[in-house]
Amino acid sequence: MDAVSIPQGTMTVEEFLAWEQTQEGRYELHRGRVVDVYAAYAMAGGSANHHRIQANLAFMCGNALRGRECRFLGKGPSVVVDEEGTTYHPDGTISCPPVFLSEKAGTLSNPTVVFEILSPSTQKKDQERKFDDYRAMPSVQEVVFIATDKARVEVYERRDEGWLLRVYLPETQVHLASVNVDLSMEELYEDASFEA
């Protein structure tokens, strides 16, 4: 694969989405600047636990939402955070129903729940900058951070008085109030292995 020339300077969301469709890699737009997700955050391939958890999450959410207007979308669709120039590729979203700014690009505008599966190289960015950006989106009701080094899930739920944090540990059920879905921690972490 040839080296990709990352555009210098700033881009609008529309310019970025048109450019991204012509690329093979995975990119995000941070405050108008293009970032190569794999290069910048050392995500080349991801860990085995990341892949296992992501597959389990997709299966569980897909089954839980069957027959409803809400849909789980895994890694792939970009989420437009703001019109000033920020788009992200979360590890998963639930939207009720999904509304795409661009069907062709798969650009989602209305996530209700956003999932980020944490890796050592992305944890700080995911839990700080991305979390702040997701909270600013009116459609987002819950942001879910899933650890890969231990069985731990943090769910931030939008409330009138602010954001409520719930932490889930092994042998519990993760409750997503905004979409009325419960996820078994045991099933979410099935086949994941942790160092002692």
Question: What's the pLDDT at 12?
Answer: 78
Does the pLDDT value for residue 71 go beyond 60? yes
Q: What is the pLDDT of residue 45?
A: 45
Which residue did the predictor score with more confidence, 11 or 55? 55
Q: How many helices (H) and strands (E) does the chain have?
A: 6, 14
Which contiguous run of DSSP H or E holds residue 134?
helix 131-135
pLDDT at 105: 65
Q: Let me know: does 156 contact 131? Beta carbons within 8 Å.
A: yes
Answer whether residue 2 shows pLDDT above 60. Answer: no
Residue whose C-alpha is closest to residue 119's, from 35, 40, 33, 4: 40
Decide which of 15 and 71 is more confident.
71
Ranges of beta strands (E only) in 129-188 are 142-146, 153-159, 162-168, 173-176, 181-184
pLDDT > 90: percent of the chain: 52
pLDDT in tens, 175-186: 999 999 999 999
Q: What's the whole-model pTM score? A: 0.81
Q: CATH number for the 47-74+87-188 domain, one of 3.40.50.720, 3.90.1570.10, 1.10.260.40, 3.40.50.1970? A: 3.90.1570.10
Strand ranges in 37-112 using DSSP code E only, listed in sequence order? 71-74, 78-82, 86-88, 92-95, 100-102, 107-108
Q: Cα torsion for 185, 54, 85, 158, to the nearest 10°? A: -20
CA distance linking residue 165 with residue 152, whole number of Å: 13
Pairing of strands 142-146, 153-159: antiparallel
CB 93 within 8 A of CB 143: no
Taking only the tens place, the pLDDT of each residue in 92-138 is 999 999 888 766 667 788 999 999 999 877 788 778 888 999 999 99
Q: Which of 195, 174, 99 is closest to 138 using CA atoms?
A: 99
